Amino acid sequence: MRFLRNWGALLLPLASLFSLAPCSSADSTLVQPKEFTPPPVFKNTNLLRTIDITKPYVRETTAMVIDNISKEPQTEYYVLVPKGIIENISYFEARGESGPHAVSPTVFNPKSETQYYRVLFSAPLPAGKSAKLWITLAQTDCLTPVPALIGQTDKQFLQWTGSQYAASAYITEKQKTKIKFPNNEVPNFTVLENNDENDDPTGAGSWYTYGPYKTVNPDQKGGKAITLRFEYTSPVIKMIRMERHIEVSHWGGNIAFQERYWMTNLGAKLKDTFSRVQWASTSYYNPPTSAIKQLTFTLIPGAQDAYFTDEIGNVSTSRFRSNMREAHLELKPRYPVFGGWNYSFVVGWNHDLKNFLRVSQDGERYILKVPFLEGPKDSVTYDEMEITVVLPEGAIDVKYSPPIPLISEEEYLHHTFMDTLGRTAIKMRAVNVVDEQHKKELIVTYHYPTMALHRKPFAIFTGILTLFTFSWLVSKIDLRIGK
C-alpha cells in the first residue's frame, strides 16, 4: 500500500517527461525581476497583426520578420503583454519557419505594468540574420455588449478596445493591424489621423486595416486606443464550469463519457421581461438571436446511448443521430438562455473501448487516446474545467500527456461498487480554455496486469461463495428453540 501512496510523487516528473504537447513549455520558468527590460538585440522589420473578433473571444496572430541586431547569436525572443491582458490569455503559441518554438512562462510580477512571454528558438539565430516568427494568442472576457440591455428581438452589438500599435519589446520598423469582424455591421470604429492622405482605418465589409505605421518604439509613445463596436448575431456562451468524466472498463469493453456544464450567456441582457408569446411567434422564422437556444455536440462516430438531463430530469427536446460516419447530439435547453441567464445540464454517451485503446508493441502497456475536450461545436469559452479519467482497477504506472497547460493534476484511487482496491484515476484542472482546444488529444498509458482483469469477476465470485457458505453454515446451525 505504501507504493500506492507514492504514485502522486512519481507522477509529476513522469508527466513532464512524457509531454508530447507541440508547444510544450520549457521546464525552466523564468522569474522576472520587477524592472526587467529585455535586451534590445532584435528589431521587427515588418509586422502584421491580425485581430479576429468573430468568436466570443479575441484571437490575435502576429506575423513578424525579426532581425538579430546584436553581435552574438540569439536564442530568446521576448513577447510583451500589457498587464491587464495577461490574466485573460487562454493560450499562447509561437512558431517559426521550421515549426513550433517552445514558450517559457515568466513568473508574473504583479507590480510591473508589462509582462513577457519568452520564446525559445529551436536553433540560435546568428548575428545579422533575420527570421520569421508567428505568435498566436487568444484573449477571453474582453468583449462587452454595448448597449448592455436590449429588447428580445433587437440586434446585439459587442465592443472591443485595444491599442493602435502591436505591443512589442523591440523597435518595430513597419506595422499594420487587420481586423476581422463577424459580419459587415460595424456601426462605430475609431478613426485616426494619419499623415498620409489615406484614411485610417481603410477597408470595408468585414475587414478593416489600421496602418501602415512607421517606426514605433517599445514604449509606444503617441499610440492611441481604438474602439470597435460591431454586430454579433450569436450568443456569448461561457461555461462557468465544466466537469468531464471518462470511465474505462476493460471488463465491459466500454468507455463512458459524461459532461456536466454550468453555462451562462455573457451577451446583452433583456431590457424587459421575457415574452414567451413573442418568442414563439418569431422563432418560426428562426431569426438570429442573442439567446442560446440550441447546442450541437459533434461526437466521435460510434457514440451510443446519448442522454441529456438537467435539474428537472430528462430533457426530451434533444436529438441524437449516430451512424458509422458521424454522431451529432443536438440539445435544446428548456428555455432560451438570454444574456445574464444560467443553465446547467449533463450530457453523456458510451463508446466501444476498442476504438480508443490499443496495446503497446511489447504488449506491456495499454495506450488510451481520447479527445481531451469535446463540448459543443458552437463558439464557447470555459472558465474552469476538470477532466477525470477513471482507469480499470489494478492499472498501475500511469503516464499521461495533457495537450494544454494545467493548473493542477492529481492521481488517486476512485472507489466504486464491487471494487476491491479502488480504480486508478487522474484528475486534471485547467482554467480559461477556448473551444479551439476541442480536437486536441489526451494520451494515457498504463500497465494493466492480466490478473487484474479477473479481479472483478473474482471479487464477485468470492462474494457469492462467501454468502453461499455463510447461508449454508447458518442452515446447519440448529436454531430451534427448546430442544
Ligand X SMILES: *[C@@H]1O[C@H](CO)[C@@H](O)[C@H](O)[C@H]1NC(C)=O
Question: Of the ranges 67-75, 101-109, 148-156, 448-456, which one interacts with ligand X (CB under 6 A)?
Answer: 67-75
Question: What's the rounded Cα separation, in Å, for the pair 447 and 456?
Answer: 17
Cell numbers at residue 299, please? 461526437
Stretch 230-249 residues interacting with ligand X (CB under 6 A)? 240
Backbone φ and ψ for 268, nearest 5 degrees, come out as -60, 140
Tell me how far apart the alpha carbons of residues 360 and 368 are, in angstroms, rounded to a whole number.
10
**CA-based radius of gyration for the chain:** 28
CA distances from 385 to 25, 263, 267, 350, 388 (A): 20, 12, 21, 21, 10
By rule CB under 6 A, what count of residues binds ligand X? 25
Site string for ligand X, 182-221 (x = CB under 6 A): -----xx---------------------------------
Task: Give the number of C-alpha atoms closer than 13 A to the C-alpha of residue 307, restricted to the C-beta side.
Answer: 12
Q: Does 68 bind ligand X (CB under 6 A)?
A: yes
Reading the block at residue 121, the C-alpha cell is 528558438
CA-to-CA separations, 428 to 6, 36, 43, 101, 431, in angstroms, rounded: 18, 33, 40, 25, 10
Which CB, 10 or 85, lies closer to ligand X? 85
Burial of 324 per CB tally in 10 Å (0-12, 13-18, 19+)? exposed
Site string for ligand X, 70-99 (x = CB under 6 A): xx------------xx-xx-----------
Q: Is 172 in the site for ligand X (CB under 6 A)?
A: no
Using CB under 6 A, which of 202, 304, 342, 408 touches ligand X?
A: 342
Least separation in angstroms between CB 309 and ligand X: 8
User: Could you say whether residue 480 binds ligand X (CB under 6 A)?
Assistant: no
- The site map against ligand X for 126-155 (x = CB under 6 A) is -xxxx----------xx-------------
Confirm or reject binding of residue 276 to ligand X (CB under 6 A): no
Taking the complex as a whole, the smallest distance from the CB of residue 161 to ligand X amounts, in Å, to 9
Least Å from the CB of residue 413 to ligand X: 31
**Which range binds ligand X by CB under 6 A, 66-74, 406-414, 417-425, 453-461?**
66-74
Per CB under 6 A, the segment of 69-77, 207-215, 344-352, 398-406 that binds ligand X is 69-77
Strands (E), 311-415: 318-322, 327-331, 342-352, 357-359, 365-371, 380-393, 396-401, 408-414
Residue ranges that bind ligand X, judged by CB under 6 A? 67-71, 84-85, 87-88, 127-130, 141-142, 187-188, 240, 264, 314, 316, 318, 340-342
